[in-house]
Amino acid sequence: MIDQSIKPVNEQIIELVKLLNDYSYAYHIKDSPIVPDAEYDRCYKALQELETKHPELIQKSSPTQRVGEKPSYGFVTVPHTLPMLSLDNAFNDASLIDFNERVSKLLSTSHIDYCCEPKLDGLAISLRYEFGRLVRGLTRGDGLSGEDITSNIKTLKSIPLTLRTDTPPEVMEVRGEIYMPTEGFERLNATAIEKGDKVFVNPRNAAAGSLRQLDPKVTATRPLVLCAYSIGYIEGGEELDSHFDSLAILNNWGFRINPLMEKVQGIEGCIEYYAKLEAIRNELSYDIDGIVYKVDSIESQKRLGFVARAPRWAIARKFPAQEEMTQIEEIDFQVGRTGAITPVARLKPVFVGGVTVSNATLHNKDEITRLGVKVKDFVIIRRAGDVIPQIVQVVEDRRPEDGYSVIFPEQCPVCSSDTEQVSGEATIRCTGGLACSAQRKEALKHFVSRKALDIDGLGDKLIEQLVEMELVSSPADIFLLKDKKLDLLKLERMGKKSIDNLLNSIEAAKNTQFNRFIYSLGIREVGEATARTLASYFKTLAELMSANEEVLVSVEDVGPIVARHIRVFFQQESNRETINLLLNAGLVWEEKPESDESLDLPLTGKIYVVTGSLSQMNRDEVKNRLIQLGAKVSGSVSSKTSCLIAGEKAGSKLTKAQSLNLPIMDETELMAFLSDFEAY
Ligand code: I6G
């Protein structure tokens, strides 16, 4: 931060406001921060201090002025200067082609440039600027007038309080969409669930709810973003001839525009753009429900005009809907590998998000309570991307009279053992363990799955038959099947050839890897990644099996809960026996004795912990480099830690390392340290 103390206070304030608005523009509009967050925070604090001492010098465009007081009369309805229109929709290519033909005919040319951009699933708003200053923000409302939500929209950092130009138009109304990015939406709902508050059905509803808060302080906490899509009205400004160029100007003046916006030629360009966006739709960090095409020439837009309440020069080509309504026919209970009993809604099949959905998980008892769902209810199903379909809402107005509540079973629906709910957990479990055939089947399916022992030809259906015919009840039994060929011949669709193939794959799977073996055991919360970390941390199975919780939590990404699950698993006699049987059956992997090669590495024997944010390498890159150099990387600081690498904003790990008097390296020291090992 520049030392400003010698300048007059008003100049200091003006400079700080300009600096902060420049930082904010780079961060929120250009996605390209120019200073670390800490520098922004320092300047903001300095400005706040000056403003507290000299309130008469507060600038309207100061970032401190974003969160104001509650409007005294709630939301007042105000007419739009020009109506906020809606868009015609095209649900297939044929309608888009018709649109292009209509436009071509009216303009008497087929050489048309279209401006294309994703249609964000948010809320349209209109922002009025007078002489470059934001004076009002209105919702679309009925298109003719909308609600005044100025105090709320001012809290959005992507909305400029003043335009970034010295020659603003006298009046300009910018139209755009306010949306909530997916990550922010998920965080907001996760916090709501933690607090027992109502969750939002989708990002759009979350954005709407956040904008309709009576207290702007609440809106200020919500992750909302504005993306501008047009100049709705302008007075005393330069006439522009291209819609695309007008958006580039809006971008320079401080508005975020969609970076995926493109100008294309003719209908072919439009169709290509649709295919391109459809392919990446699920990877975007926000929901979109289609593509908007606009004739780029403003002159042509004027010639085309409007019909009813939609422009003739624009159209929205919609994607398949990600939300649909259907009815729950039944709710069944499934028993998983760890005994977790999951309610599953059987649905009247419905086409949503590009596939036909007939089942949706209801997760657990709490979720049923939260949704207030009953059998026979009409519900909204959401399937966004490849995420499993979710029931997001019950349509209460359509609740049928023959609907009934779901009763969670007190006995396992498969083995009739009692169910239990561990305090503090939402999941209800069957207590039958491997005596429950459902748990047995699931444990075996997991054991042979692709990321575990990867036994080719041993699919789910075959496992189910093997368990039902009592040919296999524990993983080690799979390796005894070679002595049961006659029994195998009795199975559906099993001939001599397929049996030989199966037995060959089983033999081949005996040669495995340590990480696959750990994963195959199905220890609670130990997924593929954790299994890999455990395999690289512990040299032998014996070492892993005898590790206590203190040692386990020092492994990267193993927290106390996972450490407890691992410990409990290896302490259980039945699990130790299963492991012995597997080893006796001939399961092997290459153990990593401390090879001469790894002993030679410069950091062999050292344990590092990496924390805080780094700017030159990311944390994973640092960890990988340390491992390459022979070190172990741990997730927690203990007396065994050789050194803590502490980036910016390092928190409790740094405090702990300091209290234990451990060596600590900051990022500059780390870079110098790593550069000593370039030869490795
Ligand atoms: O509702 C809308 C969303 C996005 C729009 C729109 C848009 O452009 C990307 N453009 C216009 C012209 C209108 N509504 C009326």
pLDDT at 78 over 90: yes
Q: What is the mean pLDDT of residues 235-253?
A: 94
Please give the pLDDT value at position 18: 95
Q: What is the pLDDT of residues 270-313, one digit of tens each?
A: 999 999 999 899 889 999 999 999 999 999 999 999 987 899 99
Tell me if residue 119 is catalytic.
Answer: yes
* pLDDT band for position 511 (cuts 50, 70, 90): very high
Confidence (pLDDT) at 592: 66
Query: Is residue 346 very low, low, confident or very high in pLDDT (cuts 50, 70, 90)?
Result: very high
What residue owns the CA closest to ligand 1's atom 8?
Answer: 229
Tens digits of residue pLDDT in 85-109: 999 999 999 999 999 999 999 999 9
- Residue 59 reports pLDDT greater than 70: yes
pLDDT band at 597 (very low <50, low <70, confident <90, very high): low
Please give the pLDDT value at position 218: 95
Distance, in Å, from the CA atom of 538 to the CA atom of 534, rounded to the nearest integer, reads 6
Which structural domains are found in the chain, ordered by start? Answer: 9-65 (1.10.287.610), 77-318 (3.30.470.30), 323-420 (2.40.50.140), 433-508 (1.10.150.20), 514-584 (1.10.150.20), 598-675 (3.40.50.10190)
**177 close to ligand 1 (CB < 6 Angstrom):** yes
| CA distances (Å), origin 490, targets 448, 463, 640, 648 | 21, 14, 58, 65
Q: Cα dist. 619→84, 402, 623 in Å?
A: 47, 56, 6
pLDDT given at position 613: 83
Residue 336: name the closest of 238, 430, 225 by CA.
430
- Token pair, residue 166, equals 């010295």
Is the pLDDT at 598 greater than 80? The verdict is: no
What does the pLDDT read at residue 453? 96
**Position 64 pLDDT exceeds 90:** yes
Q: What is the reported pLDDT for 5? A: 62
CA distance 428 to 413: 12
Interval 497-522 mean pLDDT: 95
Per-residue tokens: 390: 């979710």
Q: Distance (Å, rounded) from C-alpha 20 to C-alpha 137? A: 23
511 Cβ contact list (under 8 Å, min separation 6): 588, 589
- Judged by average pLDDT, the poorest of 283-297, 358-372, 648-662 is 648-662
182-193 pLDDT, tens digit per residue, is: 999 999 999 998
Per the DSSP assignment, residues forming a β-bridge with 511 are 588
Cβ neighbours of 586 (radius 10 Å): 10
Residue 599, pLDDT above cutoff 80:
no
> Is the separation of the CB atoms in 168 and 161 below 8 Å?
no
pLDDT at 68 over 90: no
Measuring from atom 7 of ligand 1, which residue has the nearest CA? 229
Q: Which atom of ligand 1 is nearest to the CA of 314?
A: 12
Q: Higher confidence at residue 600 or residue 370?
A: 370
What is the C-alpha to C-alpha distance for residues 300 and 112, in angstroms, rounded to an integer?
Answer: 9
Report the pLDDT value the prediction gives residue 589, as an integer from 0 to 100.
Answer: 93
Categorize the per-residue pLDDT at 635 as very low, low, confident or very high, splitting at 50, 70 and 90.
Answer: confident
Count CA atoms within 13 Å of residue 76 on its CB side.
9
pTM value is: 0.69
Question: 123-146: b or e for each residue (b if 16 or more CB lie within 10 Å)?
Answer: bbbbbbbeebebebbbbbbeeebb
* Per-residue model confidence as pLDDT tens digits over 303-343: 999 987 899 999 999 998 889 999 999 999 999 999 999 99
- Of 514 and 655, the one with more pLDDT: 514
- Amino acid identity, position 156: L
Per-residue model confidence (pLDDT) at position 41: 87
Question: What are the φ and ψ backbone dihedral angles of 413, each rounded to 5 degrees?
Answer: -65, -15
Given this model, what pLDDT does residue 131 score?
97
Residue 258 has pLDDT above 60, yes or no: yes
Pocket test of ligand 1: the residue of 85, 175, 307 to mutate, having most ligand atoms within 8 Å of its CB, is: 175
Name which residue sits closest to atom 4 of ligand 1, judged by CA.
119
Say which residues have a Cβ less than 8 Å from residue 595's Cβ, sequence separation at least 6: none
Q: pLDDT tens across 412-450, in order?
A: 999 999 999 988 888 999 999 888 999 999 999 999 999
Task: Sheet containing 643-646: give its strands across.
Answer: 632-634, 607-611, 643-646, 664-665
User: According to the model, what pLDDT value does residue 70 have?
Assistant: 82
Report the pLDDT averaged over residues 212-235: 95
Catalytic residue among 30, 119, 276, 365: 119
Helix (H, G, I), strand (E, B) or coil at 311: strand
Q: Which of 7-21, 278-292, 581-595 has the lowest mean pLDDT?
A: 581-595
Q: Please, is 114 exposed, middle or buried when counting C-beta atoms within 10 Å of its C-beta (0-12, 13-18, 19+)? A: buried
Q: Counting beta carbons within 10 angstroms of the beta carbon of residue 270, is it exposed (0 to 12), middle (13 to 18) or buried (19 or more)? A: buried
The CB of 229 under 6 Å from ligand 1? The reply is yes
CB 301 less than 6 A from any atom of ligand 1: no
Please state the φ and ψ torsions of residue 323, each to the nearest 5 degrees: -130, 140
- Asked if the model's pLDDT at residue 594 lies above 60, the reply is no
Which of 89 and 33 is assigned the larger pLDDT? 89
Predicted local distance difference test score (pLDDT) of residue 1: 59
Read off the tokens for 565.
Answer: 């699950």
Q: Which of 119, 300, 307, 312 to mutate to test the pocket of ligand 1 (most atoms within 8 A of CB)?
A: 119
Judged against a pLDDT cut of 70, whether residue 3 lies above it is answered with no
292 lines ligand 1 (CB under 6 A): yes
Question: In this predicted structure, what is the pLDDT of residue 593?
Answer: 56
Tell me the C-alpha distance between 135 and 168, whole Å. 14
Q: What is the pLDDT of residue 33?
A: 83
